[in-house]
Structure 1
Amino acid sequence: MNRKREQAVMLDRLGQFFGPVLKVAATPQGYDAEEKQRIAARFYAEHRTFSGEIERFCKGEPHHHYLAELNKVLTTLFGLVNRSYGEKGGDLFDHAPAAHGIMMEALCSIPTPIDSTIHDAVTPFSTYCLVRDLCATANGQVMWMDRYFDQTLFARYLVEVPKSAVVTLITYPESKCQGKKQEQRYADFMAVSKLYAAERGPTGYRLMTDGGFHDRLLRCNDKLFSLGGSIKDLGNDSTFTLAKLDSTSDNFKKFDDAIAAAVEVFGPNQPVHPV
């Protein structure tokens, strides 16, 4: 398993570990005292096992020990648990969301090596896995430019993007669709986009259109990539490459310029997603 996959698995494990506690924190009125007590007890029982998994990940890369990040995660976790021991049961649920955010940020900050280029003609599934994991471990932003997004984008690549990240998609407007097939693809994409918008809100998801761009680019935090084809065609017997771009000011400017040239369809300035 490569390190990017290990990081994605670790973040998923973090979500599983904190999930029941975060649900109580979000809707405490939906749980009685006994249910809260049992959820807290399970969290306490599992926290040492989970801390061991964290330590193995932080020390899992040969000749690299990410001790600062490990210390931040464990200090936050043990602080949450120890403080909750001496307080009312609700104290765990009050402080868990902040602790979860700190731990996720620390895990996402651990650098993971990525191959410079992957050829889909050889490893289509590996390419899919890498793009999925890149998105799942981006806690700051995911920005993706592709003229021909379809509805599969959300379930395949964006469903696990951390809530702390801002997802920005730039695609062709509906006016660029030619023929019934393209019109249906766009309609299906917009239908799922509306559901995704309802889930993340206008501060967490931004949909933009531009009829004049050609490059297919992906940014996950500060990692930049150029895609050799539309992501919807991955595995459809077409040559597909994913090339890592250097994190230079010129390359970052490509993304900034794309946003400046596009029209917001949904986001902070257009908080109602079109039907």
Structure 2
Amino acid sequence: MAKTIRIGTRDSELALWQAHTVQHKLEALGYKTELISVKSTGDLILDKPLYELGITGIFTKTLDVAMINGTVDIAVHSMKDVPTQLPKGIIQGAVLERAASEDIFVFKDGKSTADFESTVTIATGSLRRKAQWLNKYPHHQVVDLRGNVNTRLQKVADNDWAGAVFAKAGLERINLKPENHIVLDWMLPAPAQGAMVIAVMQNDSYCKEACAHLNHKNSELVTHVEREFLRTLEGGCTAPIGAYAEIKEKRIHFKGVLFSLDGTQKMEIEESVPVSECQNFGTLCALKILESGGRELMESIKKEL
């Protein structure tokens, strides 16, 4: 009898949309599936501490535990939330075709513009977005904004900010992108922003084979370059890092950036290589930044955080 693939997901509206998307794609291929919404790690008993298993991601931890415990078979994530180092025994099963990678600014109260020349307050919970915003608008105030997409949109409505920064793909997926927004084409996205990834257990050949059908090769390639850049720069530290790779005419074009937390320092790189020569491309780009002052900048970020 064919195995039922248990798909693990968080219970936010966006996470459920992503999991349903994978479910429909697998069922269209003839696989049996079941969606399992996982809320908290409190009642999941492990015989090893999380750090021993390499479980780190704040948004992915619960599902990592559920996979290792055998509660679910695969997990669906926004790829930008997934740590570059996966826990022991868990591998990347598929990268789905990437959606929009850009960030957008959502204005408050239906306004279609804001006077960015004046001193306004904008909201974001992302170090990357904050640093890039302050680099462009040093006279602005940036306040912290946390929670899922719906919660953050509500907070924008409830506060006297000019607006807040969101990932375009997340709002589009659940039909919440307001009319009153602008695309921030000057802001480099988080590595792998707009892409969804399926995590699978390394020893589960049935699920690995099923997920492989959903892999989009070009999306896998560009997100790999971006995440390689991130992993090499980070060294286990969260920092304001943006990265974007795209394939044009059989070449991978890459832009990467590292900022200081306050946005005053900016180090960037722009390179391209033939797709056939892209092995370690993200790492090499990161090393160029590290060798030209990035290492000292990363050290100062670690001290500030």
Normalising by structure 1, what TM-score? 0.29
Structure whose CA Rg is larger: 1
More helix by share: 1
Greater strand share, structure number = 2
